Structure 1
């Protein structure tokens, strides 16, 4: 995958990125923001399949510390505002580096969904609308319990081996995510009021069997962002695009057509 440099946290980091369906040069752009342990490759073929179905372009990138983007520094510890930094600093710099001049649609999964919410709140001029899958707007006990399980699977099970093929530095990706989510201070993280300023179209998708979050997450979004549309999927866990791709694809297509993003 190609990389593009951005200046972040007083240093230059390389960002792994990929354009999909890029021949549709006059179509809307969807930017895909991966989950807390994700990367370009962990999206698999979902961005390409979705963009071809919709007739749009897609931009997928691995955030710093993930995939083949620059790993975390040896002494770099993420703070409670790590998702704010991604939304308010990294995302705009990636768009600038790749010469994306028009507002984009953002599709974010899990942490990527939270980053999409923050981007729409703080940089409304960059965002046409947002599509969220299993986003977080506050910390639930269920989430913490599942992340603690993931830690044990990484230390004593096969999770590290499974993730290693998707990241050049798997410890950089895993511990950056796991350490901050299990930090006692992070239990107070909450962006509910912060996202109440969002004016753009919003679609939020959640599975009923998600071990990392309940319907309280997207119901909470609807309470403060009145134009939000919700899709609640039975027999679906934390990755709706992998577990129920047909439902997700239809929901996204209907949403974009409703807001005239698709001709």
Structure 2
């Protein structure tokens, strides 16, 4: 397996729209060997967590893509990694995840010449905020993907989430957490406060995408750890209530990041689910 640290990032230029300026998005293709063997190779697009980036995924996307026999696309959302940073005076809006699902991700796929047949072979694999973005994309782009895997997603705001995010802010401002996160972001304050400020904004307490879930038609796997300090099983149980065909996996001895806590169990669950859909 190739070490992700040895792979240089590429950059996609997204033109300005009526609602935002131009964006420069850091991305990488992984497991290109899969693309060399079949013209109809499936693609896994990875959507990172609220403080994530390409670098923070480390080698897990590569390992999973090799297991699945898929080509993978990882990218850093605006404000993260080496992508266009968030201007420090700009606050993410309450619907920032819908903006990512309906504007930034489709624009990136366009920029990379991923046409509709290729999108229909694409699996979205999202973690935390990225899991919510995957759900929103699936709900609003029926027929434009093969399926989705959502890991520790948020579909509404829980007290446990707000409490943990407030604690993380204290750690960021009083410990070496800022320096640690600085390894993964060109502008670490842009990344951290973009995420932290919106989640701690009182207006965000009313945020919910529950009403959108019933529109999801493609295969859906929702995964949650029993020891997640950013959300409870109510998140994926709510998904199951509104998406009857969704399959749930609840992982023991697992916190908010199954790809770090129990990667083998996570990979087994994802591989088994995707195999069952083909």
- The TM-score bracket by the shorter chain reads over 0.9
Superposition pairs of residues 81-230 of structure 1, within 5 angstroms = 81-101=95-115, 102-103=118-119, 104-230=122-248
Q: TM-score, normalised by structure 2?
A: 0.92
Q: For residues 156 and 177 of structure 2, what CA distance do their matches in structure 1 show?
A: 26
Any idea what SS the aligned residue of 2:33 has?
coil
2-structure distance, mates of 1:136, 1:44: 23
Of stretches 177-186 and 97-106 in structure 1, the one that deviates more from structure 2 is 97-106
Distance, in Å, in 1 between the alignment partners of 2:44 and 2:75 is 12
Cα distance in structure 1, aligned partners of 2:226 and 2:243: 21
Segments of structure 2 that go 5 or more residues without pairing to the other structure are 1-8
Q: Distance in 2 between matches of 1:112 and 1:240?
A: 14
Residues 102-138 of structure 1: per-residue CA shift (max 9 Å, x gap): 2211000000000000000111232210001100000
* Gapped regions of structure 1 (runs ≥ 5): none
Worse-superposed segment, 68-77 or 204-213? 68-77
Counterpart of 2:64 (choices 50, 73, 79) is: 50
Distance 1:10 1:80 in 2: 16
Distance 1:172 1:81, change over 3 A: same
Count the aligned residue pairs: 260
Q: Aligned-pair RMSD on alpha carbons?
A: 0.9
Distance 1:86 1:10 in 2: 12
Q: Is the 8 A contact 2:139 2:215 kept in 1?
A: yes
Where in structure 2 are the equivalents of 1:234-245 lying within 5 Å? 234-245=252-263
Displacement of 1:195: 1.5
Match of 1:3 in 2: 11
CA deviations over 1:9-32 (Å, ceiling 9, x no partner): 432111000001123223200000
Deviations 1:35-70 (A, max 9, x none): 000000000000001111111100000000000001
Cα drift, residue 198 of structure 1: 0.4
Secondary structure of the corresponding residue to residue 32 of structure 2: coil
Q: Secondary structure at the match of 1:107?
A: strand
Shift of 1:176: 0.3
Judge conservation of contact 2:143–2:218 (CA < 8 Å) in 1: no
Distance in 2 (CA, whole Å) between partners of 1:182 and 1:126 is 33
- What TM-score comes out, normalization by structure 1 length? 0.97
Q: Secondary structure at the match of 2:143?
A: helix
Quote the offset at 1:74 in angstroms.
3.3
The question of 1:36 aligning with 2:50 is answered: yes
CA drift of 1:196 comes to 1.2
Determine the structure 2 residue equivalent to 1:24: 34
